[in-house]
Structure 1
Amino acid sequence: MLLLATDVADLQGRGGGEGLVRAHELLEAAMRRLQLELELLLSELRYNAVDGSISGHADQDAAVVEHIRVVAKAMMAAGYGMECVSTFKSHRRAELAGAVHRLLGFSPSQHARFHKLTWNQVDGMVQSWHAAAGFAFTSAFSNERLFCHSVFGADAAVADKVFADIASDHAAELLAVAEAAVARAGRAPERLFHVLDVHGTLAEILPAIVSVIGDNSEVTTRANAAIRNAGEASRRTLASFEDTIMKVTSKAAAPGGAVHPLTRYVMNYLVLLADYEDTLARIYQQCRGANASGCGSASPDSPSSLNPIDRLVSVLLRKLNAMAGRYQSPALRSLFMANNTHCVGKKVRGSSKLDGILGEDWTTAQRAEVRRHVDACVHSAWHDVLACGGEGAEAAVREEIATQQRWVAADDEMGDALRAAAAAAVVPAYRVLYRRHGATAWMTPGDVNAMIGRLYARIL
């Protein structure tokens, strides 16, 4: 550059228009060479897919960055700042787009109209979006901003503007994927987990967005709106899920007092939902904080202001209690409740997350409730049989055994509990009758005990 300045000065010193024209031509030629050199230097730099750092092909990264800074400074000083900035932005935007594309498996810019995509299309995109968004917002953008300030550090305003021009569109495209996932999910319960994942990722990267792009930027405003929308969508889906539970209809009762499919479905769903305890806590805290503006018509007693998992378990249990009314037999009603409440409790105990959410007191109370239903079932089934006394007791016992052979237990544990309770209630009472009327034709107490021991062998 010193030789260039000397040549230009010599030409200008000769006087006349010819010298100025020649000096301008020489300067343009030099700037073209510098611009080409800038392009070559920039083409050596790539994003590290692990940490988002910017590196070259060898252990000369610092030297390359310094060389780029010198070239940019020379071009800016010579009045070729526009060309310098344009070249720099073009290369860096392409590199950032390539890095994001490699992680996503697609280019967000190819799907500018996300609202026209189907859920399956969006779902396929959002699976890789989490890693790409984390890479871009927490690593790549931060390193890109530092790089811009390293190159254009002489003018911080220029450096910030260059960075904004490089990153803003990519940031907006990444947010568009999240927005589309929330919008297309609707209120389908199985899609809620995708929405919660999006909310969790957005909440995780928001501090980086604020730090790197700015808390007053359009990107930050849009990210905050996306978080609110994901929270509102999650609350709507859970409210709809609760409403679905309450509206489930079944013309026939579950055969033999078995576990109802609704119980298994809801509890399996809640086991998965429990893994999102922290995200749900943030969402409902957000609702309480926003109150009138963020939660629609939520009231203090609405699902949006209570623990949703605790509430959904309570709703399920109330629904099961209503379903039990379809049985004409009081014993079968109690058996149905015993099986289903046992299934609920077992699912809770089998999930450390769910067990922690509902708490030890709930688990203790639930065990007692199961036992109450078991005792009620045995009492209703056998009370009248044993009360008849006399020689009719044996026939009544046989008839009741035949009836209960069609009854089922939720699992081996419940079968053991039912058999133990029945044997404890029936065998001693039958033994008294047997001794009192000890006819040789009667079944022995051991026979009755063996028959009870074969009940509830069928597991549903």
Structure 2
Amino acid sequence: MVDMIPSPPQRHRRTLSTTVVDETVAAAATLVSKWHPDDANSAYSLFLHASAPEADHFLRAAADLHRSMLFFASDPTNAHNGHGLVQAHHLLDTAMRRLQLELRLLLSAPGRDHDARSLRALAQTMMAAGYGKECISTFKERRRAALRRLYTVVQLHKLTWDQVDDNIQSWLATARAAFSSVFPAEKELCDTVFAGDASVGDAVFEDVANDQAANLLAVAEAAVARARRAPERLFRVLDVHDALSEVLPAILSVFGDRSEVAKRACSALFKAGEAARGALASLEASIQKEPSKATAAGGAVHPLTRYVMNYLVFLADYEGALDRINHQQQQQGSPECSSSSSSSSSMSIGWLVQVLLRKIEAKGGSYREAALGHLFLANNTHYVAKKVTNLQEAIEEDDYGAAARRHVDAYVRAAWGKVLNAIAAADGVEEAVMEAVATQERWVAADEEMGEMLRAAATAAVVPKYRMFYRRHGAAVRLTPGDVNAMIAALFGGIATDSTSC
């Protein structure tokens, strides 16, 4: 029997493939060494300062190193491959550190639009080589820092209302820019850089933008919470409501309608609407609680009338916000997101005008002299009529001017009735005129227009009848029709006329 002679062990020989891979690694090593991340000139960017072909060569070299690692790892029994694997891995790790540095440089370049093509190619190379974690971590770090410069949120819970109010001024512009422009651009950047995997792009964007978006919304939430039901703070609440309504479509589109940012924005919008309705209800209550006996000296325009009407003039500038808030209320009190409107703000503003007018009527009835009560009503209704012209389309057309004229007529009848009765009876006429004038000397008109209206109405009612009386009894009286006319003309801030002209 022939003894079996053991065959000699197989020797691994270099193959053509091995030679090609070795040459590829050597070429990559030269390029990696040139752009080593630890060099003193590492701030000099391969993508920003070198030529485009060289940047592409570096990316291809990194990909070649990864493929070389896979080649060497495919035959671990080959001693040469083991050495080649270690070398390729070391070079790849160095190349990836360079790309990580390049990513920082690209994302930090001041005054320069991001080179989306370079960023995308760089990210794809890193992620394909198994360095996705480093790529994503560096990207998020830089983009968070960039967004953090948008707006610095102070500790709102420690601030007074005035400080929150001042904070809102800059917030309004920042929030509009951030949600309408900055965040959409950031989302587009994430989608472009991580185009290979949409879920990765979405996750990166959320990690980068959510905290800053939440910080911005925190300002709105603080403003609404601090506003409570104070009418004087309503306008800031409406500013917040306006801004949130404006940016809400972008929030839903960029962050997604089921995102926490969208839910928080919707909640803030809803609460702003609730706060606005509360402030209007508080204003209505304060009007109704105003003591009816608290009148104005001389029948002047009451401070309540001035405050409420000037308030409503400012409120009319927020018709759009009021429309949306009214529509929000119609949605069965649900904090749903909607920017459409189907109702008018006329009920809100018009109703408050009516509440004010009812209070004015009650105050007018509190005067001892009926004439002074009617003068008060004429002055205040006239003031309302003048302000209503500034409300434009905010309330339905109503002839408040006619109401003021009716009160003027009622004033004339009450203030000059005794004089007219005396003329009719031809008894005590001059005494009645002097008493009427003396009584009204300290009464006031809302403005020059109302003063002219009051003087004209009194002159038309009294002077012609006094002239007829004077023609019959002139020898027995000392006041001429011109004297009476001049007395009336001097009332309510007027200037006495020359008695000879009458």
Q: TM-score, normalised by structure 1?
A: 0.86
1:438 Cα deviation from its structure 2 partner:
2.3
**Corresponding residue of 2:10:** none
**Corresponding residue of 2:356:** 316
- Does structure 2 retain, via aligned residues, the 8 Å contact 1:179–1:226? yes
- The 5-angstrom pairing of residues 176-325 of structure 1 reads 176-249=218-291, 252-291=294-333, 307-325=347-365
- Does structure 2 retain, via aligned residues, the 8 Å contact 1:11–1:22? no
**Corresponding residue of 2:117:** 66
Separation of aligned partners in 2, 1:37 and 1:412:
75
When residues 231 and 3 of structure 1 are mapped into structure 2, their CA distance, relative to the original with a 3 A threshold, is closer
When residues 305 and 131 of structure 1 are mapped into structure 2, their CA distance, relative to the original with a 3 A threshold, is closer
Matched, 1:448 2:490: no
Separation of aligned partners in 1, 2:293 and 2:365:
12
Matched, 1:77 2:113: no
1:256 Cα deviation from its structure 2 partner:
1.2
Separation of aligned partners in 2, 1:250 and 1:16:
100
Shifted more, 379-388 versus 234-243: the winner is 379-388
SS at match of 1:208: helix
Shifted more, 439-448 versus 26-35: the winner is 439-448
When residues 437 and 65 of structure 1 are mapped into structure 2, their CA distance, relative to the original with a 3 A threshold, is same
When residues 450 and 9 of structure 1 are mapped into structure 2, their CA distance, relative to the original with a 3 A threshold, is closer
The AA in structure 2 aligned to 1:256 is G
Q: TM-score, normalised by structure 2?
A: 0.79
Structure 2 unmatched ranges of 5 or more: 1-58, 337-343, 496-502
| CA deviation string 1:252-295 (max 9, x = no partner) | 5311111111111111111100000111011011101225x579
- State the superposition RMSD in angstroms: 2.3
- Which one has more relative contact order, counting CA pairs under 8 Å at least 6 apart? 1
Structure 1 unmatched ranges of 5 or more: 47-54, 102-106, 296-303
- Does structure 1 retain, via aligned residues, the 8 Å contact 2:244–2:265? yes
Separation of aligned partners in 1, 2:490 and 2:370:
22
SS at match of 1:79: coil
- Does structure 1 retain, via aligned residues, the 8 Å contact 2:292–2:366? no
**Corresponding residue of 1:41:** 106
**Corresponding residue of 2:167:** 125
| CA deviation string 1:288-317 (max 9, x = no partner) | 1225x579xxxxxxxx99711001100110
- The one of 22, 25, 29 equivalent to 2:90 is 25
SS at match of 1:375: helix
- Does structure 1 retain, via aligned residues, the 8 Å contact 2:161–2:226? yes
Separation of aligned partners in 2, 1:176 and 1:30:
42
**Corresponding residue of 1:434:** 470
Matched, 1:359 2:396: yes
**Corresponding residue of 1:52:** none
**Corresponding residue of 1:369:** 403
| CA deviation string 1:393-442 (max 9, x = no partner) | 11111111111112111111111111111111111221222222222543
The AA in structure 1 aligned to 2:392 is D
Separation of aligned partners in 2, 1:115 and 1:307:
35
Matched, 1:92 2:143: yes
**Corresponding residue of 1:104:** none
1:187 Cα deviation from its structure 2 partner:
1.9
**Corresponding residue of 1:408:** 444
When residues 70 and 252 of structure 1 are mapped into structure 2, their CA distance, relative to the original with a 3 A threshold, is closer
**Corresponding residue of 1:51:** none
SS at match of 1:421: helix
**Corresponding residue of 1:347:** 387
- Does structure 2 retain, via aligned residues, the 8 Å contact 1:213–1:220? yes
Separation of aligned partners in 1, 2:404 and 2:258:
56
- The one of 370, 374, 387 equivalent to 1:330 is 370
When residues 81 and 231 of structure 1 are mapped into structure 2, their CA distance, relative to the original with a 3 A threshold, is same
% identity of equivalent residues: 57
- Does structure 2 retain, via aligned residues, the 8 Å contact 1:85–1:162? yes
The AA in structure 1 aligned to 2:393 is G
Separation of aligned partners in 2, 1:344 and 1:290:
34
For this pair of structures, how many residues does the alignment match? 421
**Corresponding residue of 2:186:** 144
When residues 199 and 320 of structure 1 are mapped into structure 2, their CA distance, relative to the original with a 3 A threshold, is same
For the pair shown, which has the larger CA radius of gyration, 1 or 2? 2
| CA deviation string 1:72-92 (max 9, x = no partner) | 111101100000000011111
Separation of aligned partners in 1, 2:71 and 2:472:
135
